[in-house]
């Protein structure tokens, strides 16, 4: 029997597929179909090709080999057909076994796609935002500064006294939710940018009031008031330090950089 002491046993899924392929080959050659116990005695570490050679040798009598050569061979059982079929089965088995090793590598994107949790706007968030803006104003480098989702939301809504319980998260856009002055819940999503020196803008692409989607035209009368709305009713304007040149969203964070 082939030496397999140093091999790791196949995964259960790969072993089941190998055993089914072996049973099909045995039935096609009019050999006894191996059971689970028979295959286990040969070794769970053997590949399909090795296992087939072992099983074929065990169940092909040497005395009858000449008679077998004289018998007409069906076209589908000829070497020209059997070899491609065996190679195809081995390729399928290799794919299944490879999946055993590729699974950890594929797990990372799945984890990365999990929805980012909501972050509340608190006093500590306000202190952190003030510190970052102060440091940015004192430097002469145009290096981007990272803002958390809550800090980005506070930058937009810090002057809006009629909005509270604000939370935020960022995926491809800035998403903000909270409670209005009348107690109704709201949620919106939009893109950040610098409209002009000293004025930032949140371009709102989606607005939800209560449990239903609403037109972005509702911004002016339900969320921030006429004074905070820009020229476009789908945009929220807010004051920013005049030294800020760029404001945007990237990689689940907001980025702000100063003028050169």
User: Mean pLDDT over all residues of the chain?
Assistant: 76
Q: Of 111, 134, 160, which one is at a domain's C-terminal end?
A: 111
Residue 65 has pLDDT above 50, yes or no: no
100 lies in some domain: yes
Q: Of 62, 79, 111, which one is at a domain's C-terminal end?
A: 111
Q: What is the pLDDT of residue 62?
A: 55
190 lies in some domain: yes
The domain of 216 spans 119-258
Query: Is the domain of 253 the same as that of 129?
Result: yes
Query: Is the domain of 30 the same as that of 92?
Result: yes
Q: Are 43 and 55 in contact (CB under 8 A)?
A: no
Q: Where are the beta strands (DSSP E) in 180-252?
A: 185-196, 199-209, 212-214, 235-239, 244-250
Pairing of strands 119-120, 174-179: unpaired
Residue 170 has pLDDT above 90, yes or no: yes
181 lies in some domain: yes
Of the pLDDT bands very low, low, confident and very high (cuts 50, 70, 90), residue 102 is very low
The residue with greater pLDDT, 225 or 103, is 225
How many structural domains comprise the chain?
2
Query: Is the domain of 127 the same as that of 247?
Result: yes
3 lies in some domain: no
Q: Of 111, 144, 159, which one is at a domain's C-terminal end?
A: 111
Q: What is the pLDDT of residue 231?
A: 47
Give the mean pLDDT of 2-9: 59
Residue 9 has pLDDT above 50, yes or no: yes
> In Å, how far from its chain's centre is CA 68?
56
Query: Is the domain of 149 the same as that of 232?
Result: yes
Cα distance between residue 180 and residue 171, in whole Å:
24
Query: Is the domain of 33 the same as that of 149?
Result: no
23 lies in some domain: yes
Query: Is the domain of 140 the same as that of 236?
Result: yes
Least confident stretch, 77-81, 181-185, 209-213, 216-220:
77-81
Least confident stretch, 25-39, 138-152, 192-206:
25-39
Query: Is the domain of 64 the same as that of 142?
Result: no
Of the pLDDT bands very low, low, confident and very high (cuts 50, 70, 90), residue 66 is very low
Q: Report which of 71, 233, 254 is spatially closest to residue 147, judged by C-alpha positions.
A: 254
Query: Is the domain of 131 the same as that of 54?
Result: no
Query: Is the domain of 23 the same as that of 42?
Result: yes
Q: What is the pLDDT of residue 77?
A: 59
Helix axis angle, 48-58 to 79-112, nearest 10°? 140
Query: Is the domain of 97 the same as that of 125?
Result: no
Residue 76 has pLDDT above 80, yes or no: no
Query: Is the domain of 123 the same as that of 244?
Result: yes
Query: Is the domain of 48 the same as that of 140?
Result: no
4 lies in some domain: no
Give the mean pLDDT of 183-187: 90
pTM for this model (two decimals): 0.54
Q: What is the pLDDT of residue 28?
A: 77
136 lies in some domain: yes
Q: What is the pLDDT of residue 137?
A: 85
Tokens of 188: 């919106």
Q: Where are the beta strands (DSSP E) in 73-114?
A: none
**3-state SS, residue 177:** strand
Residue 196 has pLDDT above 80, yes or no: yes
Give the mean pLDDT of 201-218: 85
Cα distance between residue 213 and residue 163, in whole Å:
19
The residue with greater pLDDT, 235 or 189, is 189
- Quick one: what percent of the chain has pLDDT higher than 90? 22
The residue with greater pLDDT, 149 or 139, is 149
∠124-125-131 over CA atoms, to 5°? 90
> Which residues have CB under 8 Å from 135's CB, separation 6+?
145
83 lies in some domain: yes
Would you tell me how many other CB atoms lie within 10 Å of the CB of residue 184? 12
The residue with greater pLDDT, 98 or 173, is 173
């Amino acid at each position: 029997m082939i030496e397999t002491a140093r091999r790791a046993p196949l995964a259960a899924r790969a072993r089941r597929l190998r055993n089914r392929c072996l049973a099909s080959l045995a039935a096609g050659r009019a050999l006894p179909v191996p059971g689970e116990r028979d295959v286990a005695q040969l070794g769970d570490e053997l590949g399909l090709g090795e296992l087939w050679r072992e099983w074929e040798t065990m169940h092909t009598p040497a005395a009858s080999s000449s008679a077998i050569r004289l018998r007409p061979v069906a076209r589908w059982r000829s070497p020209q057909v059997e070899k491609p079929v065996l190679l195809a089965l081995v390729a399928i088995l290799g794919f299944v076994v490879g999946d055993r090793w590729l699974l950890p590598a594929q797990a990372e994107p799945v984890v990365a796609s999990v929805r980012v949790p909501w972050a509340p706007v608190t006093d500590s968030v306000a202190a952190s935002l003030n510190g970052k803006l102060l440091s940015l104003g004192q430097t002469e480098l145009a290096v981007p500064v990272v803002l958390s989702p809550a800090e980005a939301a506070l930058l937009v809504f810090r002057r809006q006294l009629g909005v509270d319980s604000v939370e935020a998260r960022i995926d491809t856009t800035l998403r903000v939710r909270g409670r209005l002055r009348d107690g109704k819940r709201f949620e919106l999503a939009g893109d950040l940018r610098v409209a002009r020196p000293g004025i930032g803008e949140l371009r709102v692409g989606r607005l939800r009031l209560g449990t239903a989607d609403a037109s972005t035209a509702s911004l002016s009368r339900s969320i921030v008031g006429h004074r905070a709305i820009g020229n476009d009713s789908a945009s929220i304007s807010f004051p920013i330090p005049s030294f800020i040149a760029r404001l945007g969203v990237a990689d689940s964070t907001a980025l702000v950089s100063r003028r050169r």
